[in-house]
């Protein structure tokens, strides 16, 4: 029984680690996307300022 509990714990830990790395990956992707959006927005803003001169 103890062996099975240990195995279960190991699997659970592996699962948690995988979920954690997936989350980290998704968060990094989101941050990159946000940076891209911000740079696009600021470019658009600059272009509009130039046009309104």
44 CB-near residues (< 8 Å, 6+ apart): none
- Give the model's confidence band at 7: pLDDT under 50 very low, under 70 low, under 90 confident, else very high: very high
Backbone angles phi, psi at 49, to 5 degrees: -60, -40
The span from the CA of 15 to the CA of 8, in Å, is 10
pLDDT confidence of residue 14: 96
pLDDT in tens, 21-39: 999 999 999 999 999 999 9
pLDDT confidence of residue 20: 96
- Give the model's confidence band at 12: pLDDT under 50 very low, under 70 low, under 90 confident, else very high: very high
């Amino acid at each position: 029984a103890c062996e099975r509990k240990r195995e279960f714990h190991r699997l659970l830990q592996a699962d948690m680690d995988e979920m954690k790395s997936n989350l980290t990956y998704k968060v990094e992707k989101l941050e990159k996307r946000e940076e891209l959006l911000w740079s696009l927005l600021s470019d658009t803003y600059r272009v509009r300022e130039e046009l309104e001169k």
